[in-house]
Structure 1
């Protein structure tokens, strides 16, 4: 403890984090790195397999795609008009005035931006390049000959005809890669014999009749193993000297968490592992102890309240929309307003189009009143031709992010959530632990494993809830935040949480989102509640990585490691009542960590 107080934080992270791998998996991206790093690798969470299947599917899930019904389409248009009235812009089927349109054309020519110009935004107008799907040929005689032929000292002595033959030999020996991970997998041309798989979708393992559990696990293992070897340079035979910190989303169910633990300890061969909640880690990543954490991911949004370093399980909520839904609505609006070029853009079956739309969203979308147009470069990725560029006017760019508050704008024209029947778990790993009397080591105090007879005082006023499946709600972000905080039931903690809202995830970087959340949450609070102040806390670090950073801090400060699971223990015994190591133990933090963070 004296060491923690005397040493510099950077020194502690460097010394104690060099053998800790922090893993924060998400539906679209995985954030992974050593705890001693300042920022993690942020890698698309996908893998493309070489396939000979006929007919070929570009994306494994495209057979599950659902069509927008007439009622859903009408709800989407209604939501647009509601948002338009709030932002003081024309309705969906109402054309802007002629003068404003002419002015926009003039501004287009002058500055490339119609309105809401933000000099801090770095626009990326270059197209993505197609991935090379062939393996690097090394060690073959043809490759050696090609290398020799390229040397200056021998280039003049070689016969031109022989040079051509050598190149033909090199091309004929090219071999397709068995699998491709990360962003490269998203940039594979549709004509190539590959099928893209996403092992996590909408906050759950992506299990379906087309994607069995065994394949999901194998894909997770392949992606994570590739990252550990290629990015972190940790070979398999050295991983027993490393420990894994799993920063898991609140959306994950009991069995999913156990499958991930088995993957890390069995297949990836880490020496030990610990599981922390994403919301809890986000609070510590910002140096806080109490907050309402709103994690807006790519495909789901999760909320949970944290009080004095402990998560309140009854406040957890999940909303089935995220950043990719904003990108989808952006495309729908441009097509409706006929501003999108005459190109075949399909973000569901052409992943490279999703990359482009996400880039446009991050560069141009923001929340503010008034007409918000821009001139952007849209790229077309057609079969067997180089990417094309189309400079076009984009309109109503402040409407898509407002769909967070009016989710019917995000018509469900994407793959539905995975079926929930698989996740029934009779060996409940998430059962409530504060009312169970654990077997304790003699040197441990009664406060270390809290229960109803003794432990953390903050839990004494809370009822014990039986474990239930995660509840997904179809409400807007402001209503979800309000319901989440009011469900705590105490006015003192409610006032504190309404002034301590923390936005996490890449969408939190959207310009104007903080002010919109504060305004709309304040209006969503019932008039009979004695609350008149709402404040979003400014993040001290990049909101995309704050949960990962919090996981690194928790791992470094966890001196006793009593909640860590050793590889041998997991393989032989698993986690069960009386083992002193249960997932929900991550709700409680050791006294020395809290003392250090608050000092």
Structure 2
């Protein structure tokens, strides 16, 4: 047996003994590898590293340095300094400071579909200018399509026009009109209101016999001065454009750059021409309405600009307005504010639900502590213009004496707007047979005085806001996406436009089912037979879908997008439950022999699985929904199940917009909401109010923009030409008060 060897002997025999002198192999420093788990840099992770933020900090620092120098200079001159360190200025200096702080150098712009509100931030009220421009054309808008009046007349088979007013707009309109009138009578009787049985006969019999009286121009004290185009200007804007004769030489055609809250792509050949018209309307309004002589670019650089944009905006629209204000007009700085936030500023509300009924769009949005709740934004494409169209149809149906009224004619359009504003009401105490008169003033003609009787036509068009299926929505999507496509992210390809859960819910309720893409579409053989192909292997079965959805709440019939997205006949709205959610469509009820088709219909759409807001990317859906149900949907998504927040929002409903100024409208909205929320327990919390301090609901949004423009010391949203030149539209991500 061999004896045990020592450790040193083993190291020596095995060659493991260390023989070096413990010196480094090189004198170069050894760099240890980076630990990937703790790898960290602070590049572009601090606010000071962003140009927009760094510029703002530099301005604040320069302002503090200037105040310190002024304080030291005042102390050296023996002047008094306040406790806060401010220098007691002379009267002239204080007056100059007050002038700057009052907003005399800030122009507030609120562009709309029908009117432009514009004024200085120091003004008490803005100037309302029609958002229209007239340009030379072969014929005016009233002469196009054969000069056929709007609303359209019904044509018979032989090509002639229907002579009977009751049948002029078709049987569908007549049935809706008579049905809405009967519903109003029933409600008035329930409220103990007196309803005469022969009211409509009294109106029609008088209007058939009514004639007009002629008034000479020298006897008409309110005659209109029509616009003189003998010098043939290239364009005319605002009020002057609405006063151009249809028979002028040369002819002028009106163009409205903004329609239904969208850019009017239908009437323009190029995007440059469209934004050029917007710039011309704003520029002429500043010079004629605000009396500011701004001719050179240096003059425009003396003024700042606040632009009010919709809550549910499109990014392309905002960036285009920014480029227009800085590059084309030349303002020294520009900032943006959303309409609902501006309305809360103007009314002095911190938490409220804004219901804005404009000329061609209706917006509902909730505001909490000075911030817009994104998921509560709703944008509907109807408003006061639809009420005007319905009003004209109804008075013509009742043999209006001026039966040749044409909304395409400019003086007729102004006449109808005047009649609607003067006589519209939904107060049941004022709905009765009334005798009124109006004066028709047309260019080149003597003034005509008409007398007419009217009954429930003063209320039914406004009540149609709660039943929008009565409106005619044809043509509102014509030309959509003709010039402007959606904005998509360059890196991930996702859409940049904002989304809203409340808007998406409404679109699911009204959207027709989108056809299944070809890779996911099964081939049919016979009535109920299926031929499987290679796409079926990629399509999950019903059992697999149920397995994947285990642990998640099963959607009910009211919340299922497929059950709510069945097309309705004749453009009717889906039937609604008491809580405002659509009923499941009867066509989705399972029938014998329909098992295969039900399995196909019940499976989620492939595009919906990838993007829950894919319906908002579709341009074939026109958002039309009853007003009261839109309000409940907005508040439900804003409160997120919180009962206290829900009560606060229902208790502070703010009704604004020109179309909401009808007498009795707040009470009607409150009554309708109480009927919807009877079972929820919130019916007693509903309070619909107007803007306080006697602020006109039409200008409440502009007033809030003016307040925002005067916040010079706390407003960090200004975009200067310096920042826009270097960062472009990316500067909005750091300057806007909401997520861009």
Normalising by structure 1, we get a TM-score of 0.72
Q: Deviations over 1:428-457 (max 9, x none)?
A: 76569xxxxxxxxxxxxxxxxxxxxxxxxx
Decide whether the 8 Å contact of 1:375 with 1:392 is kept in 2. Answer: yes
Note the 1:165-244 alignment, pairs <5 A: 174-192=230-248, 193-208=251-266, 210-232=268-290, 233-237=292-296, 238-244=299-305
Aligned to 1:543: 697
Query: How big is the shift at 1:424?
Result: 0.3
Aligned mates of 1:466, 1:583 — CA distance in 2: 24
Which of 49, 52, 60 is the matching residue for 2:135? 49
Contact 1:575 1:582 in 2 (8 A): no
Q: Which has the larger radius of gyration?
A: 2
Between the aligned partners of 2:268 and 2:316, the Cα distance in structure 1 is 20
Does the 8 Å contact 1:127/1:389 carry over to 2? no
CA deviation profile, 1:281-311 (whole Å, cap 9, x unmatched): 0011011111100111111111100011110
What SS is found at the alignment partner of 1:519? helix
Equivalent residue, structure 1, for 2:536 = none
Question: Which of 301, 307, 312 matches 1:246?
Answer: 307
- Whether 1:97 and 2:198 are equivalent positions in the alignment is yes
Note if contact 1:203-1:252 (Cα within 8 Å) is conserved in structure 2. Answer: no
**Contact 2:108/2:118 (<8 A) preserved:** yes
Partner deviation per Cα, 1:357-382 (whole Å, 9 max, x = no partner): 11111111111226433333334456
3-state SS of the aligned residue for 1:175?
A: coil
Structure 1 residues 406 and 88: alpha-carbon distance in aligned structure 2, compared to 1, 3 A threshold = farther
Match of 1:269 in 2: 330
Aligned counterpart, 2:637: 487
Tell me which residue corresponds to 1:151: none
Decide which moves more: 31-40 or 474-483.
Answer: 474-483
Give the whole-Å Cα distance in 2 for the aligned partners of 1:132 and 1:465: 52
What is the alpha-carbon distance in structure 1 between the residues aligned to residue 99 and residue 676 of structure 2?
A: 41
What residue is the counterpart of 1:326 in the other structure? 387
Q: Which SS does the other structure have where 2:227 is aligned?
A: coil
Distance 1:101 1:227 in 2: 47
Q: Is the 8 A contact 1:290 1:497 kept in 2?
A: yes
Taking the aligned partners of 2:285 and 2:634, their CA distance within structure 1 comes to 36
Matches within 5 A, 1:280-359: 280-338=341-399, 340-347=400-407, 349-359=408-418
Tell me the distance in 2 between the aligned counterparts of 1:78 and 1:539. 34
Conserved 8 A contact 1:273-1:565: yes
| Residue 362 of structure 1: aligned partner | 421
CA–CA separation in structure 1 for the residues paired with 2:687 and 2:223: 39
1 CA distance for matches of 2:648 and 2:736? 30
1:565 matched residue in structure 2: 719
1:375/1:2 Cα in 2 relative to 1: closer, same or farther (>3 Å)?
A: farther
Q: Deviations over 1:318-368 (max 9, x none)?
A: 222111222222211111111x11442111x11321211111111111112
Distance in 1 separating the partners of 2:148 and 2:305: 35
Residue 112 of structure 2, aligned match among 8, 15, 26:
26
Say whether 1:133 aligns with 2:228. Answer: yes
Give ranges in structure 2 of 5+ residues lacking alignment: 1-82, 87-93, 153-168, 211-219, 490-494, 500-610
Offset of residue 315 of structure 1:
0.7
Q: How far off is 1:389 after superposition?
A: 2.3
SS in 2 for 1:241: coil
Q: Distance in 1 between matches of 2:149 and 2:448?
A: 30
Decide which of 639, 649, 664 is 1:512's aligned counterpart: 664
> How far is 1:477 from its partner?
1.4
* Deviation (angstroms), 1:64: 14
Q: Secondary structure at the match of 2:376?
A: strand
Preserved CA contact (<8 Å) 1:372 1:398: no
With over 3 angstroms needed to count, the CA separation of the structure-2 counterparts of 1:391 and 1:356, relative to structure 1, is: same
Q: CA deviation at 1:418?
A: 4.8
Q: Write out aligned runs for 1:578-597 (5 A).
A: 580-582=734-736, 584=738
The yes-or-no answer on 1:395 pairing with 2:455 is yes
Instruction: Decide whether aligned partners of structure 1 residues 66 and 414 sit closer, same or farther in structure 2, where only a CA change above 3 A counts.
Output: farther
Distance verdict in 2 for CA 1:517–1:345, change over 3 Å: same
Structure 1 CA distance for aligned equivalents of residues 227 and 448 of structure 2: 19
Distance 2:405 2:185 in 1: 25
Cα distance in 1 between the residues matched to 2:428 and 2:398: 19
**2 CA distance for matches of 1:417 and 1:558?**
42
- Size of the aligned set, in residue pairs, is 485
**Secondary structure, counterpart of 1:314 in structure 2:** helix
Bigger relative contact order (CA 8 A; separation at least 6): 1
Q: Distance in 2 between matches of 1:562 and 1:293?
A: 25
> Are the structure 2 counterparts of residues 369 and 63 from structure 1 closer, same or farther at C-alpha, using a change threshold of 3 Å?
closer
Please say if residues 464 and 470 of structure 2, whose CA atoms lie closer than 8 Å, have aligned partners that are also in contact: yes
Query: What CA RMSD, in Å, does the superposition of the two structures yield over aligned residues?
Result: 3.7
* Distance in 2 separating the partners of 1:293 and 1:472: 21
Alignment pair present for 1:86 and 2:214:
no
Find out whether 1:474 has 2:613 as its counterpart: no
> What residue is the counterpart of 1:452 in the other structure?
none
**1:580–1:99 CA distance, 2 compared to 1 (3 A):** closer
Q: CA deviation at 1:254?
A: 1.2
Query: Cα gap change, 1:336/1:66 in structure 2, threshold over 3 Å: closer, same or farther?
Result: closer
**Structure 2 match to 1:499:** 651
Q: What CA deviation, in whole Å up to 9, does each residue of 1:376-395 have, x standing for no partner?
A: 33344567423422122222
SS in 2 for 1:576: helix
Instruction: Find 2:122's aligned residue among 9, 16, 36.
Output: 36
Q: Tell whether the 8 Å contact from 2:101 to 2:710 is kept in structure 1 after alignment.
A: no
Q: Structure 1 residues 550, 342: closer, same or farther in 2, change over 3 A?
A: closer
Can you list the C-alpha shifts for 1:98-126, whole angstroms capped at 9, x where unaligned? 79949x98xxx9xxxxxxxxxxxxxxx98
Return the offset for 1:551.
Answer: 0.8
* CA distance 1:73–1:260, change in 2 (3 Å): farther
**Residue number in structure 2 paired with 1:407:** 468
1:575/1:413 Cα in 2 relative to 1: closer, same or farther (>3 Å)? Answer: closer
Deviation digits for residues 204-236 of structure 1 (CA, Å, limit 9, x no counterpart): 111126553222111101110101122221404
Stretches of structure 1 lacking an aligned partner (at least 5 in a row): 110-124, 135-173, 433-463, 587-599
Task: From 370, 377, 381, give the equivalent of 2:437.
Answer: 377
